[in-house]
Structure 1
Amino acid sequence: MEIENKVVLVTGAGSGIGRAIALACGMENPSAVICVDKNTANVEKTVSQLRETKTTAYAETIDLTDLSAIADLGEKVLKRHGVVDILFSNAGVSFAGDLETSEEDWETSWNVNLMAQVRTAKALLPAMISNGGGYIVNTASAAGLLTNLGALSYAVTKHASVALSEWIAINHRPDNIRVSVLCPMGVRTNMLFPDDDRTASSKAESLAQRAVLDAGDILDPSQVAEVVIAAVKAEEFLILPHKDVLGFYSFRANNTQKWITSMAKYQEQISK
């Protein structure tokens, strides 16, 4: 799908991959880019950068854990534009931890990494279908195809995001809805490198970060956005900015027992 003359909505647009995707869309002559984030200052900065390129852009500040806020956003956007042609459900959170992960962290992980994608699709998909079709890009992670050492709730909810994307792609293909799922490894964002540059606060957090840093190249968000735009134009389901992920994914599928054994050994190795 071409982005030119399309209405685009990006969640998590205040920083990182979300901001990079919004700015990359702005270079494609869209009809409008709607930038959504819980941080007002950050999302307004993204909109300001878009407007510098003469792109029509709007900032919407909402908490994606709030069910009614997502519904209200959908109503507001559809009243203004009639339809969102391309939805980038990009917002995400990551908590280090194991089976002792708190109920609060689990709830936030589910609400942001999965249910925000479900609820935003629910709010916008009917108008896409009525308009003859549309596109959804869900940001998951390589963790959603593989796993994430030291970050249980992240790995589980990102797997769920991949499953959601696959389900929508299959069930709504007759409605001319196309879907992609973005599954990067390490990207230079606040999620991997927090603003305060603090030392990892727990063994699990240290393990989670080390596993990502050791897995391959750390890409800039703009590099990821470039791959995303190309994939949307080609209507590719799996978006893999790190090419090694495809090999890892194939190995996991075809040699599952060996994959589990090798990952357990790898975790032991980097935990020392």
Structure 2
Amino acid sequence: MNLTDRVVVVTGGAGGIGAALVRRFVAEGAAAVVVADLAADAARAVAESAGPQAHGVGLDVTDEDQVRALVDDTERQYGRIDLFCANAGVATGGGIEVDDAGWDRAWRVNVLSHVYAARAVLPAMLARGGGHLLMTCSAAGVLTAVGDAAYTATKHASVGFAEWLAITYRDRGVRVHALCPQGVDTPMLADGLAAGHLGAKVIAASGVVLTPDQVADAVIAGLAEERFLILPHPEVADYARRRAEDPDGWQAGLRKLVRRLTT
């Protein structure tokens, strides 16, 4: 996919990976980039700094009516959506002790928001015979987010849903991409470290924390090559193979790491 003259929507666009994607899409020559986030003022600030092609709007990705309205408004204003980036995500930093409200929020933001996006954009994409869906799923979706049970479970679900979409709609012209970064220098990681969350400590200990701009670089390359799985940390592919080939050994290694970080 070439971003020149494309119409793009980015949810969770007010910071972190989302803001980096917005800036990069504008730099690549996108005709329009809609920056959507629950923090509407921050979304507008990102859009203003990115350039005249971008504009910011408020959006609760867990509200299907709002997602559908955003898609309808964008298609009405620009005629189409070429790329929809379902990028919003939340972590809990906890295990089974996280209450039902925390699990429900993780499920709604990390999984159902992708379902709502697909329902909203697919009809027009299928009618045109083309379009792209990028879903930020995290390396936790192919590995495990140590210390965060809900994040692990919902990110696995988001990868599964993205793969289902890719299998179902690729032959009808719609390309689906699962973006699965590992450690990225975002507010989510910073907040996790400040709160002492185990998962954030594991990421920091890995020694490979990318900038959001580096993730955006990987997205541009992945879109150009029309890859399903976009791995800004290429070592994640090796980790996934090791996990599949020797699950007991993989788990033993993670338990050892947890013991080192918690004793």
Regarding TM over 0.5, the answer is yes
Question: Following the alignment from structure 2 to structure 1, what is the Cα–Cα distance between the partners of residues 194 and 243?
Answer: 32
Per-residue deviation, residues 168-208 of structure 1 (Å, max 9, x unmatched):
111001111111111111111100013xx9842xxxx5311
- Which residue of 1 is the match for residue 220 of structure 2? 229
- Where 2:190 maps in the other structure, the secondary structure is coil
Alignment root-mean-square deviation, CA:
1.4
- Where 1:18 maps in the other structure, the secondary structure is helix
Which amino acid is 2:4 matched to?
Answer: E
Which amino acid is 2:178 matched to?
Answer: V
Question: Following the alignment from structure 1 to structure 2, what is the Cα–Cα distance between the partners of residues 177 and 244?
Answer: 28
**Structure 2 unaligned regions, length at least 5:** none
Match of 2:123 among 114, 126, 148: 126
CA contact (8 A) 2:193 2:201 kept: no
- Where 2:187 maps in the other structure, the secondary structure is coil
- Where 1:172 maps in the other structure, the secondary structure is helix
**Structure 1 unaligned regions, length at least 5:** none
- Which residue of 1 is the match for residue 74 of structure 2? 77
- Which residue of 1 is the match for residue 259 of structure 2? 268
CA contact (8 A) 1:11 1:35 kept: yes
- Which residue of 1 is the match for residue 86 of structure 2? 89
Question: Following the alignment from structure 2 to structure 1, what is the Cα–Cα distance between the partners of residues 207 and 245?
Answer: 22
CA contact (8 A) 1:83 1:131 kept: no
Match of 1:207 among 184, 187, 198: 198
- Which residue of 2 is the match for residue 9 of structure 1? 9
Structure 2-normalised TM-score?
Answer: 0.96
Number of aligned residues: 263
Match of 2:234 among 230, 234, 243: 243
Question: Following the alignment from structure 1 to structure 2, what is the Cα–Cα distance between the partners of residues 216 and 80?
Answer: 44
- Over the matched positions of the two proteins, sequence identity in percent amounts to 36
Per-residue deviation, residues 136-167 of structure 1 (Å, max 9, x unmatched):
11001111110011111111111111111111
Question: Following the alignment from structure 1 to structure 2, what is the Cα–Cα distance between the partners of residues 13 and 130?
Answer: 27
Question: Following the alignment from structure 1 to structure 2, what is the Cα–Cα distance between the partners of residues 28 and 206?
Answer: 36
How far has the Cα of 1:123 moved from its partner?
0.4
- Which residue of 1 is the match for residue 181 of structure 2? 184
CA contact (8 A) 1:85 1:134 kept: yes
Which amino acid is 2:243 matched to?
Answer: R
- Where 2:84 maps in the other structure, the secondary structure is strand
How far has the Cα of 1:269 moved from its partner?
2.3
